[in-house]
Structure 1
Amino acid sequence: MLSNIEAKLLIVDDLPENLLALDALVAGKDRRVFQAGSAEQALELLLDHEFALAILDVQMPGMDGFELAELMRGTEKTKDIPIILVSAAGRELNYAFKGYEHGAVDFLHKPLDVHEVKSKVNVFVDLYRQRRALQRQLAALETARQEQETLLSELRSTQRELQRAVRMRDDFMSIVSHELRTPLNGLILETQLRQLQLRKGNAEAFGMDRLGPMFERDERQIMRLIRLIEDMLDISRIRTGKLSIRPVRFDLAEMVRAQVENFAAQFNAAGSPLQLEASGPVEGVWDEFRIEQVLANFMTNALRYGAGSPVQIAVWADDKGAHFSVRDHGVGISAEDRERIFMQFERAAGSEQVAGLGLGLYIAEEIVRAHGGRIELWSEVGEGAKFSVCLPLAPAGAG
């Protein structure tokens, strides 16, 4: 409401009795009257306050009312304050016209007419309050506009994120359905072939020399299904903060050697022989299963993208902690893909024909972070990639 806006009035006169009389005339509710006995005092008040109106006496020693009015009009802070000049001089001196030339908006002659003074002051006070109210409304509208723009920007960002999430969901479901279907199709085909042999009464198809390869094929398909399911379960555990870390003391170098032996046949079949560099024991306290999971992910990627070239694996310790790395000489990873491949369901460009959900590196990084460690990646397109892990020798915490 306008009545809630306080109006400050400045009255300037070198005679105290004139100040008291004028104060009594202009005082009112929601107004504050400031008195100045000289132009210099008035300037000090003008620097500290915002006034709705200034009433200046013309005849003052030193700087007179005309000079003060002209100075106020030339100053940025005070140029818009309405000025009423007051004079006891006769009308024949044309002080009013001189006052207008110096920036006054009105002129009063002494002796003052009470009704005239109150009416004019009321007009300027109302104008000031209306202007202030309008400024507040404009400020509120500007604030609302900025808030709406911010909200609109946030909504657009959210919309883009939702669209991206929908695309990721659709891509993920497509990949999952394909990845799950492949081992299931293998198992179904094996089962159908065996049923066919049983219906034919062909017992030779189930001889001891054939049962071993049958079980190996079944085990490979089942393990592939288990790995896919475990990856999806790990994503759920990470999101809910329930990724389990159970630290125990073990030799990291020994674990790496065991993994190299487990993968050796697959790498040799792909024409990518494994080369291990491990000078001695590297003992520490970590979750052996989870760290093995990280190494297996790196080795699987090296097998997929190594382009039939040797793969170097190293494990060592220094004053910074325990380390292991996997280096291939395959297709490499572009600069724009290096950060992205550590995100959920993201894969490097050109990997569409390679099996996988795009979860391995994301899970690996979360596991290493949970141990208080870090993963470093070096890669150039056409020159292969090197994934390195640094782990603290003491546990970061147990889950």
Structure 2
Amino acid sequence: MLSNIQAKLLIVDDLPENLLALEALIKREDRTVYKAQSADEALSLLLQHEFAMAILDVQMPGMNGFELAELMRGTEKTKNIPIVFVSAAGRELNYAFKGYESGAVDFLHKPLDIQAVKSKVNVFVELYRQSKAMKQQVEALEQSRREQEALLAQLQSTQRELEQAVRMRDDFMSIVAHEVRTPLNGLILETQLRKMHLARDNASAFTLDKMHAMVDRDERQIKSLIRLIEDMLDVSRIRTGKLSIRPTCFDLSVLVRGVLQNFSQQIEAAEASVTLDAEQPVIGSWDEFRIEQVISNLLTNALRYGAKSPITVKVYSDNGEARVEVRDFGIGISEENQQRIFQQFERVSAKQAVAGLGLGLFISEQIVTAHGGTITVESRIGEGALFRVCLPL
């Protein structure tokens, strides 16, 4: 409500009794009256407060009311304050005309008409309050507009994120369908082949050597399926903050050597060679299963993108850290792709179709980060890539 807006009034007169009389005339509970006995004192108050109006005596020692009014009109903070002049001088001096020239909105002669003074002050106070209320409304509208713009921007950002999430979901489902179908197709073909042999009573198809080969093929396909499922479960654990880390003390060099032995068939199938540099024990406390998962992911990528080039793996300690480096000399990774390969479902595109869900590096980075370590990549197109894992000892 307008009555809740407190109005400040300034009265300037060199005579204290005039100030007291005028204050008593215009003062009310919803107004604060400030008094000044000189122009200098008035200027000081004008710089400190926002006034609804100013009542100035014309004849004052030093700077008179007209000069004070001119200063007020030339100052940004005070130029819009309504000024009412008061003078005891006769009308024949034409002070009223000079007052209006100085920017006054009214001119009163002494002795003052009490009702006229009250009425004029009420009018200017009411105008001030209406102006103040309108300004507050404009500010509120502007604030509302800014909030609406911010909300709109947030909604647009959320929409983009949702669209991106839908695209990622669709891409992910497409990749999952393809990746799961590959080992399943192998198992289905193997099963149909065996059924055909059984239907024909072809016992020669089930010799011991052939059975070993069948079991090995089945095992590879099943392991491939399990790996896909575990990757998806790990992403779910990471999102819910339930990725568990169970550290034990072990030798990282021994672990990496064991991983390479387990990868012998994949290395042979990729027609690649792997050299291990792990001469010294590197003993620390980490989650052995999870670190093996990281090394396996890096080695899988090196075989996948290495273009049959030699791969080197190095295990060493430096500056209080355990380090594992996996380097290939394959297709390499562009700077742009280096920024996104640690995100979910991201894969470096190659000319040939590439297997995998695009989760390996994302999961690896989360595991390494959970250990308080870092995983980085150095690469140039056509020159291969070096992945370095650093783990606190």
For the aligned pair, the TM-score class normalised by the smaller chain equals: over 0.9
Q: Does 1:47 align with 2:47?
A: yes
Question: TM-score of the superposition, structure 1-length normalised?
Answer: 0.96
Deviation larger for 346-355 or 155-164: 346-355
**Equivalent residue, structure 1, for 2:366:** 366
* Alignment-mate amino acid for residue 323 of structure 2: H
Q: Structure 2: how far apart are the matches of 1:42 and 1:352?
A: 85
What is the CA distance between 1:288 and its match in structure 2?
1.0
Q: Secondary structure at the match of 2:69?
A: helix
**Equivalent residue, structure 2, for 1:290:** 290
**Equivalent residue, structure 2, for 1:225:** 225
Deviation larger for 38-47 or 54-63: 38-47
Kept in 2, the 8 Å contact 1:85–1:104? The answer is yes
**Equivalent residue, structure 1, for 2:60:** 60
**Equivalent residue, structure 1, for 2:308:** 308
Q: Secondary structure at the match of 2:34?
A: strand
Q: Does 1:10 align with 2:10?
A: yes
Kept in 2, the 8 Å contact 1:5–1:129? The answer is yes
* Alignment-mate amino acid for residue 43 of structure 1: L
Deviation larger for 344-353 or 281-290: 344-353
Which whole-Å deviations, capped at 9, do the CAs of 1:18-67 have from their partners, x for residues lacking one?
A: 11211122112311111111112111111111110100011111111111
**Equivalent residue, structure 2, for 1:71:** 71
Kept in 2, the 8 Å contact 1:306–1:384? The answer is yes
Question: TM-score of the superposition, structure 2-length normalised?
Answer: 0.98
Q: Secondary structure at the match of 1:198?
A: helix
Q: Secondary structure at the match of 1:285?
A: strand
What is the CA distance between 1:352 and its match in structure 2?
7.3
* Alignment-mate amino acid for residue 185 of structure 1: N
**Equivalent residue, structure 2, for 1:91:** 91
Structure 1 gaps of 5+ residues are 394-399
For these two proteins, the number of residue pairs brought into alignment is: 393
Q: Secondary structure at the match of 2:29?
A: coil
Cα distance change on mapping 1:352 and 1:63 into 2, 3 Å: farther
Identity of aligned residues (%): 68
* Alignment-mate amino acid for residue 312 of structure 1: T
Q: Secondary structure at the match of 1:324?
A: strand
Which whole-Å deviations, capped at 9, do the CAs of 1:93-141 have from their partners, x for residues lacking one?
A: 1110101111111100111111111111111101100000011001111
Q: Structure 2: how far apart are the matches of 1:244 and 1:180?
A: 26
**Equivalent residue, structure 2, for 1:124:** 124
**Equivalent residue, structure 2, for 1:270:** 270
Q: Structure 1: how far apart are the matches of 2:47 and 2:349?
A: 66
**Equivalent residue, structure 1, for 2:350:** 350
Q: Structure 2: how far apart are the matches of 1:270 and 1:81?
A: 86
Q: Structure 2: how far apart are the matches of 1:357 and 1:52?
A: 71
* Alignment-mate amino acid for residue 123 of structure 1: V
Q: Structure 2: how far apart are the matches of 1:388 and 1:363?
A: 15
What is the CA distance between 1:351 and its match in structure 2?
7.1
Q: Structure 2: how far apart are the matches of 1:236 and 1:270?
A: 31
* Alignment-mate amino acid for residue 136 of structure 2: R
Structure 2 gaps of 5+ residues are none
* Alignment-mate amino acid for residue 380 of structure 1: R
Kept in 2, the 8 Å contact 1:264–1:273? The answer is no
Which whole-Å deviations, capped at 9, do the CAs of 1:343-373 have from their partners, x for residues lacking one?
A: 1111123377111001000000011111111
Kept in 2, the 8 Å contact 1:186–1:221? The answer is yes
**Equivalent residue, structure 2, for 1:396:** none
RMSD of aligned Cα (Å):
1.1
